[in-house]
Chain A
């Protein structure tokens, strides 16, 4: 059953969840304990956010002993992403900054 855009948007709308998700993107698989240590909120709160991310298909959990490991499932973002248009957006904003710089530069 594919996850709806709404579910994805809502999962990512919360800054704390987004920070958790971005951390998993950057660092790879992490335990709830490790994520909690960096998140500045309680472990139950982290677990609740992870459950929302999981429901949206953005993370996967893996149980090992008493630990639960979470990893980012970036393919879940695929419906939202058009790579070339993202890259074009990146360069458009670089061009803006380049023009600003040129105005400030001496001849």
Chain B
């Protein structure tokens, strides 16, 4: 187990959001709202439910792992050969919510895998264009 934990990596994004956890929870768990900020989907907040997120570049296969309303939501995230787990944690604060997203389970040897390249495509090319603008 220890070996596994040292061999995997995580991406963590955290933000203070000026809205209560209940409202954020709706945005994280209602399909028509998820679609507005993430991707088209057939999500249900039910443990073991399998769903897809569909982007213009392909689909992400997911399965719900944990649902603790207004607190924690966790699902697997398998896209183009990369397997990972996405966990959302909502912590109330005096001014709203501390929202934390952790995506974990990448192995270092996947870091440069072509799946990763495909995944970050749009952003990658946006960055590339910026670099090009600077290098000419």
Contacts and interface: CB of A to CB of B under 8 A. Distances in A.
A9 B110 CA distance: 23
Given A83-B112, A97-B37, A105-B27, A90 B120 contact: yes
A22 B119 contact: no
Q: How large is the interface on B (under 10, 10 to 19, 20 to 34, 35 or more residues)?
A: 35 or more
Given A84-B9, A91-B13, A77 B101 contact: no
A81 interface: yes
Interface string B96-136: 00010101001000111110111111011101110110010
B90 to A, nearest CB: 12
A81 B13 contact: no
A107 to B, nearest CB: 7
Contact of A105 (B26, B38, B57, B113): B26
Contact of A88 (B13, B99, B131): B13
Interface string B8-43: 010111010101000110110000010011100000
Contact of A95 (B13, B23, B117, B127): B13
Interface in A8-33: 9, 12-13, 18, 22, 25-26
A1 interface: no
A91 B17 contact: no
A41 interface: no
B33 A83 contact: no
Contacts of B128: 9, 12-13, 80
Interface in A54-98: 72, 74-75, 77-78, 80-84, 86-95, 97-98
A88 B37 CA distance: 15
Interface of A: 6, 9, 12-13, 18, 22, 25-26, 72, 74-75, 77-78, 80-84, 86-95, 97-102, 105, 107
17 contacts: A9-B132, A9-B135, A13-B129, A13-B132, A25-B118, A74-B117, A77-B117, A81-B116, A83-B106, A83-B119, A87-B120, A88-B12, A90-B120, A101-B27, A101-B33, A101-B36, A105-B23
